[in-house]
Structure 1
Amino acid sequence: MGLFTMAKLVGAILFAIIAWYVSQLIKPLFPEGYDPGRFAEFNALIGLGVGWIVAGSRAGGGWSSGISAGLTAAFALVFWGLLLNCTYEMLRLSLRRQYDGPLEAVIGVFELMFENLMIMLDVQVLVVLFGSAAIAGLVIEFTSRKAR
């Protein structure tokens, strides 16, 4: 994980905020009757890690590199958010004996990831996610330059 830098701290905070806000945009897109629980808060924790590890650690390479780091972090946020949320959902369904065996449960994670990705493919969600990630990348790059 490396040493503490202001760029990593700013990246963690910004991507936690982005993850929380985008989660709020996604909640109404879920099927009626679905209870997302602590969906936004869980994704904010994922955003903390992604912002620190992916975006913050890539700071210092220039403005275009900052945008690239922000967009890379957005893709990482989507991947880890889908994987961890769907794994949690699979475990919840497994406890209700919805799967016949462990292999079916593992396959179920990827089916859930695909279903949730299709739910996420909303113009507003994508514009906010990738637009704010690019801006966050610039802010992280600016922070990296000023904190030296």
Structure 2
Amino acid sequence: MPTAAKLVAALCLAALGFGVSELIKTLMPASTVFGIFSFINAGLGLVLGWIVVGNRSGRGQAAAVGNGITGVVSLVFWGLFIQSVNEMVKQAMKHHYDGPVEAFADVFQIMIDFGQVLLDPLLLSILLLGSLVTGYLSEIAAGRWR
């Protein structure tokens, strides 16, 4: 059932996903081709904000912090996974792997490699701040519009 808390959480995580994706672009080599990278992560934030954070809103301020952090952690995990699978498929099309098991195993190595970019202090602080804002705003929306 649609609620204001779900909508607010979805919009917050979508904005965070898009903004962080744009920041990640500045941390990667200039030769990197991103395509619709930011829009995929924004869409993922929209879905995860609705499902993960929005469903858990309305349980108090302490839970709001945990909800926001859970939402951002899930956004980071699924964003890394989707982008890693995309990269694996690109490499598989170039016949980089000997078989499907090797390709599947490489997804997790690619996730680790991509995840190292996220260890930038500015990026981590934006993710933390975004998680707090997302949780808090969705909690306000849950309390105000029932």
Structure 2 unaligned runs (5+)?
A: none
CA distance in 2, matches of 1:132, 1:9: 16
**Residue in 2 aligned with 1:128?**
126
**Residue in 2 aligned with 1:45?**
43
Aligned length: 146
**Letter aligned with residue 58 of structure 1:** R
**Residue in 2 aligned with 1:106?**
104
**Residue in 1 aligned with 2:22?**
24
Backbone CA RMSD of aligned residues: 0.8
The two structures have a TM-score, normalised by structure 2, of 0.97
**Residue in 2 aligned with 1:12?**
10
CA distance in 1, matches of 2:37, 2:124: 18
**Partner deviation per Cα, 1:26-46 (whole Å, 9 max, x = no partner):** 112123411111111110011
User: How far does residue 50 in structure 1 lie from its aligned partner after superposition?
Assistant: 0.9
What's the secondary structure of 1:10's corresponding residue?
helix
Q: Find the partner of 1:70 among 68, 82, 97.
A: 68
CA distance in 2, matches of 1:125, 1:96: 32
**Partner deviation per Cα, 1:15-59 (whole Å, 9 max, x = no partner):** 000000001111121234111111111100110111001110100
**Residue in 2 aligned with 1:59?**
57
Q: Find the partner of 1:141 among 131, 139, 142.
A: 139
User: How far does residue 8 in structure 1 lie from its aligned partner after superposition?
Assistant: 0.6
**Letter aligned with residue 125 of structure 2:** V
CA distance in 2, matches of 1:137, 1:143: 10
